[in-house]
Chain A
Amino acid sequence: MSTGAELYKIEAITALKYGLSGLLTPNIRAFEEAGLKYIDILEKAQRDGMGQVVEDALAQFKASLKKKKERRAFDELEVFINLMKIKDPFEGWRAIGKVVSERWPKGLDCVKAVREMRRR
Chain B
Amino acid sequence: MEDIVLDSNLLLGYFLPQDPHHQRGQSYVNGLENGDYRFHLPMLVLVEVTSVISRQAQKDRLALLARWRKIFEDWERDGRIALYELDRQRMVNAQNVAEQYRLKGADSVIAALAGELNISLRTSDAEILARFLGSSV
Contacts and interface: CB of A to CB of B under 8 A. Distances in A.
Q: How large is the interface on B (under 10, 10 to 19, 20 to 34, 35 or more residues)?
A: 35 or more
Given A80-B63, A109-B16, A103 B58 contact: yes
A110 B51 CA distance: 12
A111 B124 contact: yes
Nearest to A77: B63
Interface residues of A, number: 35
Contacts of A89: 70-71, 74-75, 78
10 contacts: A28-B62, A32-B66, A83-B64, A83-B66, A99-B60, A104-B16, A105-B56, A110-B10, A114-B7, A117-B48
Interface of A: 23, 26, 28, 31-32, 35, 75-77, 79-80, 83-84, 89-90, 92-93, 95-97, 99-101, 103-105, 108-111, 113-115, 117-118
Interface of B: 7-10, 12-21, 25, 29, 33, 48, 51-53, 55-64, 66-68, 70-71, 74-75, 78, 104-107, 124-126
